[in-house]
Structure 1
């Protein structure tokens, strides 16, 4: 979960973007990684994605309601925020609803990135991003509508699944067990639907690897912080980089 790219001044940190509300503990290797780093690299800047969540043209966008049964649509509307940047549900792009919906059924607190970013801002430690909000939106737009429909239907049939999966994954992550994190993820129904893993993980890993290669020659000690799932499974970031790694102990 905390890895050194051999022969470079770059390390990879597999993060959890959200923690279960009942387990706010940050493992010691997070602080150790932050203290080691002279510069940080994060995935993206979450607030900048908000303008991309909604359809730009109601005339050309397929209504989100058409992707779900009447019952599933009604149940999703019932729990959806009625104000703020996520409202109304009918205005969201299908992929945006897919990404946001599971979090409505989770009890969470902020994860690794906001904590590290606050420290970096307070201490003047430089940081940058691997992708822009446009990059993220373009990748997620590639998720097939059939997959969005199936995933949301599965979610509404078992709304307790996101919390169960998060808690199991967080327990494995605390132990630094990357294989267990991946195993738990692939047991989640949404993870196995065609196109979802490709858009959320694989395509972004390939793009990130191309951008990260420029960092491998930097003299600064650089910590790259990405979601733990980007470091495991087929087409993971390490494989895309074609680099050898060793655990930091």
Structure 2
């Protein structure tokens, strides 16, 4: 069963960066998450600005340098992360490479078309009977139309329910590390490169078999009460560069869900390692930023790089 893996992947930015679009895409923006409830209690650290120092790695030869950064796809504005080594790496780079750089509106539209369930079978009826009322309650709480969700594939409902609550907790996709880097690169005239297209990313989710999708949705519902606590802890670990803590969380999930781990992490890490190997043949400086989950745990991007003869060295904090 896919228990906590999906929620952890999306919270840490370990899986599909398009998940953040569900907080900003026009079809769901018309049904905003509730904001009149009192926000969940948060650690005192979140009440003031946090000076983040996320981990950064470097792959280098005589004329090519590639910096590797793990990102969080949702962020709070009070987290000051564009500083130190990371800012230096960005300023040196003539190219910024992200998971995907497609236009947001186009990507969201593609996702919705792909996620529609052509069979007409209601998603809620695929779930265990005891879980169905909780799905309805979550949709009502987040002001998401149940008749809409019921006609979408389970993976889409799982991603939607995983992401929507964070808006009221202060997390914003526009403040996500990927989004900020893309905006800065555009403004500064740097070359922007996407490792994948929006359609490819959506396809990874859509390729999961139905039972995996159902398990994904069940786990999302069951884990919803811990969402704030889990995400705050993971962002805190990311901010401190504590990759071991992220790896520990990721490895628990990977052992419980080998199929989704292979599709969303391992296979993609292997392809990206080959991309980096090819890119090293051309001179230049690249800042490559992908979800933090890809740079933590077993079969990480660093592991895949070692398999193709490249060494990623972690830089000291500054």
For 1:191 and 1:36, locate their aligned partners in 2 and report how far apart those are by CA, in whole Å: 38
For 1:138 and 1:193, locate their aligned partners in 2 and report how far apart those are by CA, in whole Å: 18
Contact 1:54 / 1:91 at 8 angstroms: preserved in 2?
no
Give the drift of 1:101: 1.4
Contact 2:158 / 2:220 at 8 angstroms: preserved in 1?
no
Spell out, residue by residue over 1:80-112, the C-alpha distance to the aligned partner (whole angstroms, 9 max, x if none): 5547xx992134332222222111222212221
How many corresponding residue pairs? 245
Q: What is residue 234 of structure 1 aligned with on the other side?
A: 298
Q: What is residue 225 of structure 1 aligned with on the other side?
A: 289
* Greater Cα offset, 196-205 or 122-131: 196-205
Task: Look up the SS of the partner of 1:195 in the other structure.
Answer: helix
Task: Look up the SS of the partner of 2:150 in the other structure.
Answer: helix
Q: What is residue 222 of structure 2 aligned with on the other side?
A: 157
Task: Look up the SS of the partner of 1:13 in the other structure.
Answer: strand
Q: What is residue 129 of structure 1 aligned with on the other side?
A: 194
Spell out, residue by residue over 1:47-67, the C-alpha distance to the aligned partner (whole angstroms, 9 max, x if none): 243212345764446532233
Matches within 5 A, 1:114-125: 114-125=179-190
Contact 2:94 / 2:191 at 8 angstroms: preserved in 1?
yes
Contact 1:4 / 1:12 at 8 angstroms: preserved in 2?
yes
Structure 2 length-normalised TM: 0.68
Structure 1 length-normalised TM: 0.85
For 1:2 and 1:89, locate their aligned partners in 2 and report how far apart those are by CA, in whole Å: 39
Quick one: structure 1 residues 121 and 147, their matched pair in 2 at CA, closer, same or farther if it must change by over 3 Å? same
Structure 1 residues not aligned, in runs of 5+? none
Give the drift of 1:186: 4.3
For 2:57 and 2:265, locate their aligned partners in 1 and report how far apart those are by CA, in whole Å: 19
Matches within 5 A, 1:164-203: 164-186=229-251, 192-203=256-267
Q: What is residue 3 of structure 1 aligned with on the other side?
A: 57
Q: What is residue 78 of structure 1 aligned with on the other side?
A: 140
For 2:196 and 2:143, locate their aligned partners in 1 and report how far apart those are by CA, in whole Å: 28
Spell out, residue by residue over 1:9-30, the C-alpha distance to the aligned partner (whole angstroms, 9 max, x if none): 21211111112x4853215233
Task: Look up the SS of the partner of 1:18 in the other structure.
Answer: coil
Q: What is residue 38 of structure 1 aligned with on the other side?
A: 94
Contact 2:96 / 2:287 at 8 angstroms: preserved in 1?
yes
4+ residue segments displaced more than 6 Å:
none
Contact 2:66 / 2:286 at 8 angstroms: preserved in 1?
yes
Structure 2 residues not aligned, in runs of 5+? 1-54
Spell out, residue by residue over 1:199-249, the C-alpha distance to the aligned partner (whole angstroms, 9 max, x if none): 222222223223332211221101111111101222222222332111223
For 1:206 and 1:237, locate their aligned partners in 2 and report how far apart those are by CA, in whole Å: 7
Task: Look up the SS of the partner of 1:205 in the other structure.
Answer: helix
Task: Look up the SS of the partner of 2:282 in the other structure.
Answer: coil
